[in-house]
Structure 1
Amino acid sequence: MNMSNITIESGSLKVRLTFWEKVSSLSGNISIPMSHVRGATDDPTFLKDGLGLRAGGTGFPGLIAEGHFRKNGDRLFALWRKGEQVVVVELEGQKWDRLVLGCSHADSLSQLINNSL
């Protein structure tokens, strides 16, 4: 299965979604200026308590979370499927407070993001 492509280029964190990710998340590609990224963590327990109320997108607990969620006043954008590790990207001054991204090497991705700050 194709996964989104997460990169840092031109001073921005870019998340390029596949066609089906765009459909299931009700969203398009994401570009966040690095000046609005506070940090990233490899967090295997983040999904344990759920993402909160789904406000657009696809969600089946424990299987898939793609789209917009609200939890405890925070706005989240999630792009995760069962079997993927979790990276949580803390944002400021954006329409989301956090990005919850699934990937195969969460430790490497979180280090890449943090080293780019």
Structure 2
Amino acid sequence: MTADVRVDGDTLVIDVQGLDKLWALKSRLEIPLANVTGATADPGIGRERKGVRAPGTHVPGVITAGTFHLDGEKVFWDVRDPSKAVVIALRDQTYARLVIEVEDPRATVDLVEHAIPRPQR
């Protein structure tokens, strides 16, 4: 099941759907857009090391969901199908990155990238 990603004012809202709420131990993430640094579609992310799971679920080839600690960073995962994975980079947040499965990765990346406040030149 994919996550629902939307922008509500100056906040990026990610709603974890279905049973993934149970596996990820989280139902919603709300991130100030000022703390979002970018988003990319990354179908190869499923092959990367996940790190230490705490708390969460990892069944290789089935689901990666929850909080993982890797190289001193906390990363939130909610992915069943890596071909639909989007990575959202953050600063000054509990998580350094969010790795989530979405219905349309390209549209989600566009949504996030266009919502991020950019410095005026």
TM-score norm. by structure 2 comes to 0.87
Query: How far off is 1:69 after superposition?
Result: 0.4
- Name 2:16's counterpart in structure 1: 17
Q: Hey, what's the Cα distance between the residues in 2 that align with 1:101 and 1:70?
A: 16
Structure 1 residues 48 and 111 mapped into 2: Cα distance closer, same or farther (>3 Å)?
same
Query: How far off is 1:49 after superposition?
Result: 1.9
- Name 1:113's counterpart in structure 2: 112
Any conservation in 2 of the 1:7–1:13 contact (CA below 8 Å)? yes
Larger Cα-atom Rg: 2
Q: How does 1:1-80 map to 2 (within 5 A)?
A: 2-80=1-79
Query: Which 4+ runs in 1 deviate beyond 6 A?
Result: none
| Uncovered stretches (5+) of structure 2, i.e. residues with no partner | 117-121
Any conservation in 1 of the 2:13–2:29 contact (CA below 8 Å)? yes
Q: Hey, what's the Cα distance between the residues in 2 that align with 1:51 and 1:10?
A: 32
TM-score norm. by structure 1 comes to 0.90
Q: Hey, what's the Cα distance between the residues in 2 that align with 1:83 and 1:90?
A: 17
Q: Hey, what's the Cα distance between the residues in 1 that align with 2:4 and 2:21?
A: 13
The alignment covers a number of residue pairs equal to: 116
Query: How far off is 1:78 after superposition?
Result: 0.6
RMSD: 1.5
Query: How far off is 1:50 after superposition?
Result: 2.8
Which structure has the higher relative contact order (CA within 8 Å, separation 6+)? 2
Q: Hey, what's the Cα distance between the residues in 2 that align with 1:18 and 1:85?
A: 15
